[in-house]
Amino acid sequence: MPASFDAVFIGAGHNTLAAALHLAARGWRVGLFEQAPVAGGAVKTGAYTLPGFRHDWAAMNLSLFAGSPFFKTYAGELIKHGLEFIPVSKPAASAFPDGTWVGVSTDLAETTARIAAFSAKDAETWAGMVAAFPAEAPHLFGLLGTPMRFRALAYFVFKILRAKGFAGTLELTRFLVQSPRNFLTASFDSPKVQAMLAAWGMHLDFAPDIAGGALFPYLEGMAGQAFGMALGKGGSDTVIKALVAAIQSRGGVVDCNAPVSRILREGGKATGIELADGRRVMAEKAVIAGVAPAALTRLTGATTPRFDAAMTRFDPAPGTMMIHLALEGLPDWTAGTALQSFAYVQLAPSLDQMARTYAQAKAGLLPDEPVLVVGQPTAFDPSRAPDGKHVLWVQVRMVPGVIRGDAKGEIAATDWTQAAAPFADRVLAILDRYAPGTTAKILGKRIVTPVELHSENPNLVGGDQLCGSHHLSQNFLFRPALGHADGVTPIRNLFLTGAAVWPGAGTGAGPGYLLARKLVGN
């Protein structure tokens, strides 16, 4: 293996892989060094319960990747290397304790009919939003794709002013700082329609009353209506396998089981990395770290007091528990068999319940009624399980990384080793209430606690799958810190990427692609 590359990467998650492919396509020699046995970070797939059942470890929804500027550029190459998506026309629904449900499908008439069952006015509002979305989408997706540098941001604002005028720009700004509750209660009358959309905020760390969270329920609802969802054929790791193969075909190196112990520096400049086994790998142009901010300072040693303090105090979002189930059959939802045809069934019945769950998790308490996102990938991709069998992907949001108590007063353990089983029983009891008999169909089960998520991937601090809160004080120009939203650090030739850097979490590869474009001048 070469002892020197143009760019050396710490970690082989989808952001560093995307950056490496773009650099390799521009002629750079790239080498990626990943501590885990496989590349992918939180985007990986495996037989975590029984042989023949393939489960997505964390990320299941690949819509952001499928719709990303990066994929538009490299689609042909990645497809040649085996990437395959499965389109989903029914992305998400929410079920409620009274046996009703509401969901979004790509059939507008179908979606509006479901909403009209709760409120004819809300159905009209939804149709109006859908009609207006093509005009709004370029501004919103443009913002999410804009480098958070003052000049680029100023140019973006100028374009918005020219397109929407002063009043329209102020209205957009107001929307961007609204909480989900503000936006949803002002827009929709039905509490169930509000809850269905608000659940998308919980996929990040936007509980109903968190400022800046209105954008995500809106975008997910509109995107689900317009485009549906994309799953990976055979598992989300189809993206990772294709990225690795594309990099290797261009002469790049992806070395797993290769933890990095420190970043080498000389004269204020990053010159390479030292691996845990003592090997040194030099970087001619850049060292790119796909790590959590706190980990960066451990690899570099002291830089500047301001930067080091910002990296140390970077705030994680609440944790997540994953429960992977191998099932005899899909859940028999009380709300009806129609729910078996949705990729996600969200169990988050009200704005107040979501707010309470979030507050409990932030306080270190095991929530009394956690929010569940129940993924049913084998409804669309039977290749993930033996004939007639299914996998269920249960994401439990939110939970504390460190347990201080139990909001329900039933679980005495404050260590995840002892608390995992009884808390998982609480989760599965909730699932059984909405779909009786589901637990009787379980053939195999794997509980993944926040502690295991963190130990398996140090970027998921406390089980935070987002690599840091997206609240306003830690987003946009402030992600991960003011002056560093483009990945620059006080050390020349050293850059930070990954979900901790603007535009943040998700599978869209935005942080990696934006950085790579910056390094090669687009």
Question: What tens digit of pLDDT does each residue of 188-201 get?
Answer: 999 999 999 999 99
Query: 412: which 2 tokens?
Result: 């005495």
Contact 74, 244 (CB under 8 A): no
| Euclidean distance between CA atoms 210 and 141, whole angstroms | 21
Q: Write b or e for each residue in 115-133: b if 16 or more Cβ atoms lie within 10 A of its Cβ, otherwise e.
A: bbbbbeebbebbbebbeeb
Helices (H) and strands (E) in the chain, counts: 16, 20
| Euclidean distance between CA atoms 5 and 386, whole angstroms | 43
Backbone phi, psi, residue 199, to 5°:
-60, -30
> Nearest Cα to 83, choosing from 249, 247, 241, 244?
241
Residue 16 CA, chain-centre distance (Å), reads 15
| Euclidean distance between CA atoms 398 and 382, whole angstroms | 29
Q: What percent of the chain has pLDDT over 70?
A: 100
pLDDT less than 50: residues of the chain? none
| Euclidean distance between CA atoms 193 and 195, whole angstroms | 5
pLDDT in the model for residue 2? 59
pLDDT in the model for residue 80? 98
Which position has the token pair 């790590």?
A: 291
Question: Rounded to two decimals, what is the model's pTM?
Answer: 0.96
pLDDT in the model for residue 502? 95
| Euclidean distance between CA atoms 71 and 197, whole angstroms | 27
Residue 202: CA count within 13 A, CB half-sphere: 33
> Nearest Cα to 137, choosing from 163, 101, 174, 98?
163
Contact 374, 431 (CB under 8 A): yes
Residue length, the chain? 522
| Euclidean distance between CA atoms 94 and 112, whole angstroms | 15
Domains (ranges, CATH) in the chain?
4-84+235-314+467-520 (3.50.50.60), 111-220 (no CATH), 315-456 (3.90.660)
Residue 249 CA, chain-centre distance (Å), reads 28
Ramachandran assignment for 347, one of left (phi > 0), alpha (psi -120 to 50 degrees), beta (any other): beta
Q: pLDDT tens across 122-141, in order?
A: 999 999 999 999 999 998 88
Which position has the token pair 């589901």?
A: 438
pLDDT in the model for residue 278? 96
